[in-house]
Structure 1
Amino acid sequence: MSTTNTTNTASHWRTSFATLRAQGLRARDAARQLGLSEGAVVAAHAVSLMSPQEAADGLLTTVALDGEWVRILQGLETVGPVMALTRNEHVVHEKIGVYRNVSAQGPVGLAVGPEIDLRLFLMNWHAGFHVVERTPQGERHSLQFFDRHGQAVHKVHARPGTDLQALDALVQQHARPELHPVFTVGEHRSRPDRPDAEIDALGLGDAWAGMRDTHEFFDLLKRFNVGRLQAMRLMEGVHTQRTPLIAVEWMLHLASRSGLPIMVFAGNHGCLQIHTGAVHRIEPMGPWINVLDEGFNLHLRRDAIHESWLVTKPTDDGPVTSIELFDERGDVIAMCFGERKPGRPELPAWRQLAHEVSTGEPQLEAVA
């Protein structure tokens, strides 16, 4: 496609996107209505594709970043508090805090702090942008990262306490306005499971029983070439148990009432984001169940939960219990654990709560 055609197409996308946003659609939904990925729409708002007047007046302006993902995230520590957002099709996980202790070994990275706790799968990060959106309330700054299909893997949004000068300095260090990332049509899909008959279920069960750390579970799935949900089914009645689909909602209400600290894992193939601590304000809204706390928001579509499992993994510190949610494609939506540190046993109160919501309807008289 010629440069002129590319510029004209991008201009059309920008105009249509602004119209949909003015109608109240979220950026992701507006892009989808245009038949585009969110990454493609963000890329179409590159300042280098706009006239000076459009860049000054447009809804969005964006600049591509250089791909030094770890250095960019490390640089965020100087920016102060921000909102980290990681999502998949059915859940949005938002944490406010400071990026600390960002590191990587090869394509796998970590950010380990008291508020922002991430597992980064950088092999699936394709493009990143600094995004400025103009709203009636003023400019909103964010860093947005996408996979090769233009699906968002992670976003960082400025908050009132963010040092915008430090953010601008970080952006200037990594900005590459001459880059115009290209996205391929499609979406990330998990590899199809092998037939159950081809899985060494006995070996899987023995290896599962022999785990000494929960982190061994990922290697176990690879070793037996078995899908996560497939492993749940194969180990049903031994290490796993189906739960009511509403179990996670019951769990959130009960944890809120008791003050029991929990861990909520949610993400995608590029980033896993973790909340650790108590939850307080639990609000159902339409198909969503929401946690609306000061530093943590969770938005989970209840109607997307196709299977829910109670899972037990042995460790040197005793059994570790989780509630794991899957959609109709067999992809993980979210996972919930009790708060736990390596070297410490699981909280007995969490184990009791998880079993209570998994085996029968708990007493929730005050829950609407």
Structure 2
Amino acid sequence: MKAHHRFALALTGALMLANLPAHAASLSERYDALRAEQPRLQLRDAAKTLNVSEAELLATGIGKTVTRLKEGENVPREIMRRALDLGTVLALTRNDNGVLERTGVATRLKPQEEIIGLDADKEKEREARLRNIAGGYLGGEIDLRFTFKNWKYAFAVVQPGKDGVVSRSLQFFDTHGNAAHKIYVKSDAGVPVFDKLVAEFRNPVQSAELNVAAMPARAAEKPDSAVDVKELQLAWNELSDVHQFNRLLSEFGVSREQAMRLAPAGAVQRITPLAVRQLLEESAKQKLDIMAFLGNESTIQIYSGKVSKVQEVGGWFNVLDPDFNLHLRDSAFNSGYVIKRAGVTSVEFFDKKGELVVSFFGVRERNKPQPQSWVDMTAALPRPDTVARR
């Protein structure tokens, strides 16, 4: 499309938004006008443009393409438990600057696995983990970690897909209206299961009115001078499992990125934000098995395996494999770190707000050291000082 045509289209869309009568400018109408201007705009980005939450914008489709599902403390967990019957699905988890999509079948837990084999370090942790299990999703093709206390709204969405095939999905949101997790049905056998689930969990009140809470202000970091750095470093060096790291952050009251700054000597190496591209390109080239962790305050999704097709598309750096897609808006990345904890090397990238976007590990067998190829590859990632000297 020629530049002056694009400008005219954008101007027309802007005028449509501006000239809607005040009494008629409902959210639904403003969204329709915006879609006429930018038909490829994703729901999340449209919500930001219209200054509403994604859940509120999706709810404008209730009665047409969207069905509001029941709410309640245990409802999201029960819906996810029932979703295990859907068979092949696409599981989508995202945050502001990353999206992880995995197609596959979720693994079910055996009945005793919800008790046996859980982290028994503390009974409190064990009970918390039990509350966040939905009968499966631990390991396997669809590998998820839930924090159900942050889940609030649930919707079923049935609409024509880009390829003309009807898309059926379950979409979950937190109390602020931010996407927690989405599941798309990917098999004909899953359609009647989906329909039955929606009928069972259909909210008797199909209202688009949501009681969305405002996002709280980001808490300020504790001053470095108020942190017992020596004790933090000792505790870091005493970690026996990387899963203990979040407890360390809580114990010392520091943010994740602040801990990178205060880490013991040799435990953290800063790398450039765009090192994520080299990491994925080298992983593909060397055929390394990697783990990618991406999530939000409600859900973390994990991919384990090789990556193949990596490329930049539309301002995002992507993995575009048949059953695994990873989309990273690395222009929003501010920092990256190669981290050594409990004998394990990982790589983490943070955005300009200090939020963790994505982290990577090398796949290793239980009770065995991580592959040297992974350690060597991460050690070669570009550092800010090396880039500056070029």
TM-score (norm 2): 0.81
The answer to whether the Cα contact below 8 Å between 1:10 and 1:45 also exists between their aligned partners in 2 is no
Q: Of 335, 339, 345, which residue of structure 1 is paired with 2:363?
A: 339
CA RMSD in angstroms, aligned pairs only: 2.5
Asked if the contact 1:190–1:331 (Cα under 8 Å) also holds between the matched residues in 2, the reply is no
Corresponding residue number in structure 2 for 1:349: 373
Alpha carbons 1:80, 1:161 under 8 Å: kept: no
User: What's 1:3 paired with?
Assistant: none
1:311 to 325, 334, 339: 339
Give the structure 2 partner of residue 73 of structure 1. Answer: 80
Secondary structure of 2:100's partner? strand
Measure the CA separation in 2 of the matches of 1:236 and 1:9. 60
- Which residue number corresponds to residue 15 of structure 1? 29
Q: Which amino acid aligns with 1:284?
A: E
- Give 1:1-368 correspondences, 5 Å limit: 12-22=26-36, 23-24=38-39, 25-47=41-63, 55=64, 60-67=65-72, 68-101=75-108, 105=129, 107-109=131-133, 111-135=137-161, 137-161=164-188, 163-178=190-205, 180=207, 182-187=210-215, 190-235=218-263, 237-314=265-342, 319-358=343-382
Gap change, CA 1:325 and 1:290, over 3 Å in 2: same
Q: Which runs of 5+ in 1 are unaligned?
A: 1-7, 48-54, 363-368
Cα deviation code 1:61-98 (max 9, x no counterpart):
32223441222112112111111111111011100112
Shift of 1:230: 0.2
Quote the Cα distance in structure 1 between the aligned partners of 2:385 and 2:313.
21
Change (3 A) 1:83 1:355: same
Flag the 1:254–1:197 CA change in 2: closer, same or farther, 3 A: same
Cα distance in 2 for partners of 1:36, 1:9 equals 18
Does 240-249 or 223-232 show the bigger shift? Answer: 240-249
1:288 deviation in Å?
A: 1.4
Assess, with a 3 A threshold, how the Cα gap between structure 1 residues 130 and 31 changes in structure 2: closer, same or farther: same
Q: Secondary structure at the match of 2:169?
A: strand
Please give the per-residue CA displacement for 1:175-196, whole angstroms capped at 9, x wherever unaligned.
2132646233533665321111
C-alpha separation between the residues in 2 aligned to 1:107 and 1:287?
38
Partner Cα separation in structure 2 for residue 361 and residue 281 of structure 1: 29
Q: Relative to structure 2, which stretch is displaced further, 62-71 or 210-219?
A: 62-71
Contact 1:11-1:44 at 8 Å conserved across structures: no
1:264, 1:337 within 8 Å by CA — same for their partners in 2? yes
CA distance in 2, matches of 1:360, 1:30: 35
Residues of 2 paired with 1:179 and 1:191: CA distance?
Answer: 36
C-alpha distance in structure 2 between counterparts of 1:274 and 1:285, whole Å: 23
TM-score (normalizing by structure 1): 0.85
Residue aligning to 2:14: none
C-alpha deviations, 1:119-157, integer Å up to 9, x for none? 111111111111122457143211111111111111111
- Once residues 239 and 206 of structure 2 are traced to their aligned partners in structure 1, the CA distance between those partners, rounded to angstroms, is 46
Residue 43 of structure 1, CA deviation: 2.4
Measure how far apart 1:360 and its partner are.
8.9
Deviating beyond 6 angstroms after TM superposition, the runs of 4 or more aligned structure 1 residues are 8-11
Q: Percent identity?
A: 34
In 2: Cα distance, 1:244 partner to 1:237 partner = 19
Equivalent in the alignment of 2:19:
none
- 1:51 is aligned to none
Distance in structure 2 (CA, Å) of the matches to 1:19 and 1:157: 27
Q: Distance in 1 between matches of 2:277 and 2:203?
A: 44
Please give the alpha-carbon distance, in whole angstroms, between the structure 2 residues aligned to 1:305 and 1:159: 32
CA distance in structure 2 between the partners assigned to 1:152 and 1:292 by the alignment = 22
Q: In the superposition, relative to structure 1, how do residues 190 and 98 fare at CA in structure 2: closer, same or farther (>3 Å)?
A: farther
Q: Distance in 2 between matches of 1:112 and 1:307?
A: 30
- 8 Å CA contact 1:65–1:171 kept in 2: the answer is no
Cα distance in 2 for residues equivalent to 1:146 and 1:335: 23
